[in-house]
Amino acid sequence: MSDTFFGGIEGGASVSTVVITNGNGDILAEIKGDGTNPWILGIKPCLSRVNDLIKEALSKADLNNNIKLNGLGLSLSGCEDAVFCKTIETQLKELYPELTNDVTIVSDTLAPIALACESGGAVIISGTGSNSLLMNPDSSIKRCGGYGHLLGDEGSAYWIAHKSIKICLDHIEDFNYAPNGYSIDKVWKAIKEHLKIETVLDLLGEFYGEKMEKSRIASLCKTLADLANTGDKLSQWLFGEAGKELAKLVQSLYPSAHKLLLKENGGLHVVCVGSVWKSWSLLKEGFISQLEYNKSNRLIVQEFTLVVLDKTVALGGVYLIAKKLNYNFPFDYEHNYKKLFHYVHSH
């Protein structure tokens, strides 16, 4: 099995992670590169980047970069539609026939579940953008979100950053004032320094001009987290609101969960993926308040456990392609994650 090689890619809007493993499950190389969302790049440029990333990873693994992989699993943001995924798979085989013997392409929501949950579970992604999905043991799926910054991305880094900018803009122009009388001074200063602007009019170029870059705006979230951790009330409020949005995703998915998933130790397992979850201490209060506030029967969530991965999501791509090929891969679910938070509804 040492001469068997698999590749896996976690492709976000901003960053991609690539792993190469052998048939024994050993990770031979792990690298990071630019985003691989086919909606943002276009299919052919996206696949060109995929090819380049695999070649780079093979070289890092001290393998001949002309080796043909036994299988490649791509978990890409934007790949929600099965027909769209098949189109990309076909084009990959046509454009790069020597890259891999077989390929599977799925949404970036599926690989985290594959890595942490043997029988199914849920995932909530909150990075540059946001998305969520529930996979049941019978392969039935419930989705919520994943529609990009114009139609969704609630609770994401972009959403938090955009909300901070909008609050400051409205406050400065006396249109709406910051919540609870909070000062905007530190947040507005951080926005200006991050975007390298001086006035509110300079925001036009950031959002409507050629400079508009979703990931650049989203990266403001890290500075806002730092402000929140040092006591800035407006920044803390922003993360509390983001926590509420992420809890709504749990409320959306939970009623569709199979009873076998609900009976697992700790209830439904929800895999948390993305940089925003690193600020769980800032999200937690708003997250819990959303779950406790809405008491309608449809939205009552009885029990679940948030888990975070100890292994790269790209390894989930390897799990997916190995399963597709019925390969005897050493799947090791319980060592791939750790618990973040356990919730039980207070009656």
Q: What is the DSSP string of 96-124?
A: -TTTBS-EEEEETTHHHHHHH-SS-EEEE
User: What is the DSSP-derived secondary structure letter of residue 277?
Assistant: G
The 5-11 sheet, strands edge to edge: 27-34, 15-22, 5-11, 71-76, 103-107
Percent above pLDDT 70 for the chain: 98
Topology of domain 5-108+311-332, CATH: Nucleotidyltransferase; domain 5 (3.30.420)
Q: Map out the domains of the chain as residue ranges.
A: 5-108+311-332, 121-150+243-310+339-344, 155-241
Distance CA 220, CA 224 (A): 7
β-pair partners for 100: 69
Can you read off the two tokens belonging to residue 121?
Answer: 């579970």
pLDDT digits (tens, 9 = 90+) for 231-275: 999 999 999 999 999 999 999 999 999 999 999 999 999 999 999
Q: Maximum distance among all alpha carbons in the chain?
A: 67
Kindly report, residue by residue over 7-41, the tens digit of the pLDDT.
999 987 778 999 999 999 899 999 999 889 898 88
Tell which CATH classification among 3.40.50.720, 3.10.450.50, 3.40.50.620, 3.30.420.40 matches the domain 121-150+243-310+339-344: 3.30.420.40
What superfamily does domain 155-241 belong to in CATH?
Answer: ATPase, nucleotide binding domain (3.30.420.40)
- Answer yes or no: are the C-beta atoms of 21 and 318 closer than 8 Å: yes
CA dist., res. 280 & res. 161, Å (int):
17
The span from the CA of 306 to the CA of 10, in Å, is: 20
Chain-centroid distance, C-alpha 143: 14
One fold for both 121-150+243-310+339-344 and 155-241? Answer: yes
